[in-house]
Amino acid sequence: MIALDHSIFSLQASGGISRWWLMHSLSMTRKYGRDVHHIGPYANRNIHLEEAPRNCLPAAAGRLPLHWLWAPATVPEGARIFHSSYLRVCRDDPRVAMVFTFHDDFWLSGRSWKCQIKKACIVRCLKRARIIHCVSAFSKARLMQRFPSTPEHRIRVVHHGVTPPAGPPNAAMLPVSGDIALWVGNRHLYKNGPLAFEAAALSAGLQLVCVGGEPLSPTEQARIRELGLGERFHHYPRASGAELSWLYSRAVALWYPSLLEGFGLPVIEAAAHGCPVLATAGHAVEEIGKGWPILANHPTAQWLASETETLRRDRTLRARLASQGVELARSYTWTRYAAEMADIYAEAEASS
């Protein structure tokens, strides 16, 4: 039996980790059927979970206790594998093999109490896990750099999958028209969000659409007013899968100048929809993009605006990148992902 802990659905209203975990859980349920046990509680507020098939993850609803990070999860009798969506361990039992997924190490660089708690939790997970799943070769390298005592023979790299669009969108789903530059996810800290506002101001007539992420801060609101973006700026804190698919299909480009990514799921989602990507070189986006995204070592607002303007004018270039993106996304299937994760589970169970 495999025990999957769904704590991320209480921690994120949307976001890449919860998108990954939903697809992971559905993939494992399809593969193992009733041999999957779903551990809660989780708050039913995550937009990805809301759109999933009803009762597909039958864990108890509710909120995580305040001490959830320190309270080990209780696994059912007969469980052989425990895998948490986020930094949680199970009760110590030699019969239960723990698998831990490591995404990236950004939050480990700070000195705040939040960073220190996360670091302590990751150290605990690394010690307890029989197999460590890294989402990219880049995340593995960062793990080994940050925690050099981690036995490399226990680390496996498995890339995420991506869900291809069901078909071309045939109706306007959001009140946005004209050429769109798309931003998906958080904007603060290493995500380099301020570049989006500056670049949009340099791009006449371009609509900037931000999906997900934090509520607009007072600083962001003031900057949007100063730059005169007005009706050219749109923020959708929660967008459905269909709405996000429509935006990917409509956008001139996805702007993704993040300074650090363990994987970068929006890049592959954009590729699946034929949406060109402007991103930063030197981390996992370069690895998973395999030469397809348009990259800069040090992206600037001027660079984002200039490259986007080229894509607006050159329809032949956009068509070529769209075709190459769809082809790239075909190598990132959830079927391939499920098979590789099943190998990890089998290896973890067989190890001692």
Share of the chain above pLDDT 70, in %: 99
Quick one: pLDDT at residue 139? 97
3-state secondary structure of 205: coil
pTM, entire model: 0.94
Quick one: pLDDT at residue 4? 96
Quick one: pLDDT at residue 193? 95
Q: Which domains are present in the chain? A: 2-161+333-350 (3.40.50.2000), 180-329 (3.40.50.2000)
100-116, pLDDT tens digit by residue? 999 998 878 778 888 88
Q: Is 317 left (phi over 0), alpha (psi -120 to 50) or beta?
A: alpha
pLDDT classification of 80: cutoffs 50, 70, 90: very high
In angstroms, the CA 86 to CA 109 distance is: 18
Quick one: pLDDT at residue 153? 96
In angstroms, the CA 219 to CA 222 distance is: 5
DSSP letter string, 285-335: HHHHHTT-SEEESS--HHHHHHHHHHHHH-HHHHHHHHHHHHHHHTT--HH
pLDDT classification of 35: cutoffs 50, 70, 90: very high
Quick one: pLDDT at residue 71? 84
